[in-house]
Chains A and B, each alone.
Chain A
Amino acid sequence: MLEIKNLRARVGNKEILKGIDLAVKTGEVHAVMGPNGSGKSTLAGVLAGRAEYEVIEGSVTYNGHDLLALEPEERAREGIFLAFQYPVEIPGVNNAYFLKAALNAVRKHRGEPELDAMEFMALIRGKMKLLDMDQALMSRPINEGFSGGEKKRNEIFQMAVLEPTLAILDETDSGLDIDALKVVANGVNALRSPERSAIVVTHYQRLLNYIVPDYVHVLSEGRIVRSGGKELALELEDKGYGWIETALERA
C-alpha cells in the first residue's frame, strides 16, 4: 500500500528526515516510536502533504501513485488521513458543516453519490456514539473551546466518518487520560480491517497496549534505527530511548 524509499526532508536548511525506508502493506498497523525531535511528526506531515517540509530525496508510493506529487486534498481523497497532533481551531466553521463538505469531497472522488443533510446526520450518529462525542460539539466551530481530549476524539471521529485506507495518527495519545485513551483506541480498532492500514506515531508505549501494532519502528535523528514486532515497544518502555542511542553509539 505504502512504500517509502530513502526519504529525506528538511525544514528551511535543517534536514530532519535523513533517509527513511518503510513499507506498509494492506491491513498492517505500524507503530513509529522515538524520542522528541527524532522526526516522527515530520514523517507524518510529509505523508499528509504539509507545505513547510521540503522533500530533497527519495520517493513515496501509495497504491501505485507518486504520493509526493499530490496536493494534500488529493491525498485525503485517495484515502490518507492524518490525525493531527495539534488539531486546529477554526472559528466560524461548524464541525458538522466541515465534516459534511469533507465527506462529500471524498465520496465524489470515489464516484459515490454525495450525502444530503439527513443522510449525513444518520451516518454520523453511530460514529458519535463510538467516540462518545457530545452531539452539541457538532454545531460548534471546529475544535473551538474543545478540551484537549475532545479535540483528539474529534480527530478520530472524523477518521471514523471518512473511513480512510491509510490512517496516520500523530501522537494522538499525548495529553489523554486513560479513559479518553481507551475511547480513542476503540475508535481506531473499530476501523481496523484487512483493507486498511495505519501508522501510529507515538512517544510512549502506552497507546500500543490498546492499539496493538504488527510492527514497531524506532526513529532516531531522522533514521529508522530499529524495527521489530510489538515486543520492541515493551522493550523500549522498559529501557527507555537511551538504550537505543547507546546501542547505536557502540555499533
Chain B
Amino acid sequence: MAILTTSGGSVGSYLTAFDRLEGGREHEPAWLRAIRRSAAGAFERLGLPTTRDEEWRFTNVAPIADNPFVSAPPVTVSEEAAARFVVPGIDGPLVAFVNGRYSRELSTLDTPLPGITTTTLADALERDPARLEPHLGRHLNFTDRPFAALNTALFEDGALVVVADNTVVEQAIQILFLFTVTPAPSVSHPRVLVLVGRNSQARVIETFAGIGPSRGFTNAVTEIVVGAGAVVDHYRLQRESESAFHIGHTQFQLGRSSTSSSHNVAFGGLIARHDAVAVLGDEGANCTLNGLYLADGVRLIDNHTEIDHAMPHGTSHEIYKGILDGRARGVFNGRIRVRPDAQKTDAKQTNKTLLLSDDAQVNTKPQLEIFANDVKCTHGATVGQLSEEALFYLRARGIGLDDARSLLVRAFATDVTGKIALEPVRTELDRLLAAKLPGTLAEMAFV
C-alpha cells in the first residue's frame, strides 16, 4: 500500500484561509475565537492524516489533501431542484444551506414551534452567543481529529436547534446541506449544534446531498447535547454525488438517563468517512448507533464509531451494515470504551457486510477497551454474500434475478431501516436504497 505524505501545501492553504477569516471575526465572541485558534493550532500540529495514522489506515485521503479546494461560491437552487432531497411527509421546520450558505428561500422557519428554536449558527452567534458558549465546540475533542479541528477553525455557518426543557416536539426538524457543481472543486465546513433540554424529545434529520456530479469536499461537524431524561432521534443521510469527498463527525453528549438513537446512512461520496462518537457522560444513559452504507464502483465508505461509557448503568446498541459492489471498499471501526466507573454497562456491537462482487472488500475491526469488571460487552462481525439458496427460492416463484438480488439486499438492510421509528424516513430510506439497485420492484414499499 502506498503511504503518502501530506502535502504541506494544502495544510498551508487551509491555515491561510483561517488567518484571512480570523481578520474579519472581531464580531465573534472571544470564547469562540479562542476555541478556533486552538483548533487551528491542533490542525497545524496534526496535519492531514495519512495511512500511517492508525485511525486512517485503510482510508487514504490523499485525493482530498492534494486537491486545492476553493471556498464554495454562492449559488441559488430552485425549490424544485432541492425538493427531492427533502424527506417527504415531514411537517417540521427546514433549515437549508447551499454550498454552505444559508438559503432563506429554501428554508421554512416562518412559524416557530413553542419551546423550539431553529435558526442558523451565524444568526445565533450574533443575537444570543451566551446560549452557545457552554456547548459550541466544547463536546467534541478535536485535539486528535484533524478534520474536526479544521471545521472548528473554519466553519462560517450551520444550524442551531434548541429544544427547551420538558418539551416534546412532534414534528421532525430537517437540516439540509446541498452542494452544487462549482467551476473549481470547492470546500465547505457545515456545522450543527443541537441542544435538547431535560425530559424533552426531538427528532432531527440531517441530509447532505449533491446536485449534479460535484467534486467538492464537505467537512461537516455536528454536536448533539442530550439533557437528563431527554430522548433524541438523529438521522443522517449522506447522499452526496459519487465523485464528492465527504468527511463528517457527529458527537453525542448524553446526560443522566437520556436516550439517543443515531441512524447514519451513507450512499454517496467517492471517499466518505464518518465518525460517530457518543459519550455516556452520566448514569443510566442509553445510546444506539446504527448505520447503513452502500458503495459501488471504486468508492470508499469508512465508518468509525466510538461509544464512551464513562458512567455506570449505561447501555449501548450498535448495528452497522455495509453493502459493497464493484471494486468498492468499506471500513468499519467500532470502539467501545468502558471506563473504570462505568459498572453495569451493557454494550452490544454488530457489524455485517454484504459483498455483491468478488472485487469488493471491507476492513472491519471491533475495538473493546474495558476497564470495569461488572459489565456485559458483546461484539460480532460477519462478511458474506447473497444466499444462493434464497435467490433460487425467489426465482423459483417467478421473481427475476435482478429483483431477487435487490429484494435480498433490501432485506439485509432492514436491521437498520426497519429500526427507524419515524415512518417517512424509514420509507424514504428504503426507496433510496431500492433506487440504487437493479430491478423493477423499487416502487413497492418494503419496510
Residues of chain A at the chain B interface (Cβ within 8 Å): 48-51, 71-73, 75-77, 81-82, 84, 87-88, 90-93, 97-103, 105-106, 109, 141-142, 158, 162
Contacts and interface: CB of A to CB of B under 8 A. Distances in A.
Interface residues of B, number: 28
Output the residue of B394, B395, B398, B446 with the most chain A CB within 10 A: B398
Which of B390, B394, B401, B441 is the most central at the interface, judged by chain A CB atoms within 10 Å of its CB?
A: B394
Contact of A76 (B396, B403, B412, B418): B396
Given A76-B398, A92-B418, 7 more contacts: A73-B395, A90-B387, A91-B411, A92-B415, A98-B399, A102-B398, A105-B397
B397 A158 contact: yes
Given A84-B393, A97-B444, A101-B441, A92 B399 contact: no
A141 B411 CA distance: 9
B394 A98 contact: yes
Contacts of A81: 396-397
A106 B398 contact: yes
A76 B411 contact: no
Given A51-B392, A97-B444, A92 B411 contact: yes
Secondary structure of the A contact surface, majority rule? helix
Interface of B: 387-390, 392-401, 403-404, 407-408, 410-415, 418, 441, 444, 446
A71 B395 contact: yes
Given A73-B400, A98-B407, A92 B395 contact: no
B406 to A, nearest CB: 10
B444 A105 contact: no
Given A101-B407, A101-B444, A76 B393 contact: no
A102 B399 contact: yes
Contacts of B410: 92-93
Contacts of A71: 395, 401
A87 B407 CA distance: 17
15 contacts: A73-B401, A73-B404, A76-B395, A81-B396, A82-B396, A84-B396, A92-B415, A97-B444, A98-B394, A98-B399, A100-B444, A101-B403, A102-B399, A105-B400, A105-B403
Give the most central of A50, A82, A97, A103: most B CB within 10 Å: A97
A238 B227 CA distance: 77
Given A87-B393, A93-B408, A51 B446 contact: no
A162 B388 CA distance: 23
A73 B444 contact: no
B442 to A, nearest CB: 12
Given A71-B395, A97-B446, A92 B401 contact: no
A71 B395 CA distance: 8
A173 B79 CA distance: 61
**Best-buried of A75, A90, A141 by chain B (most CB within 10 Å):** A90
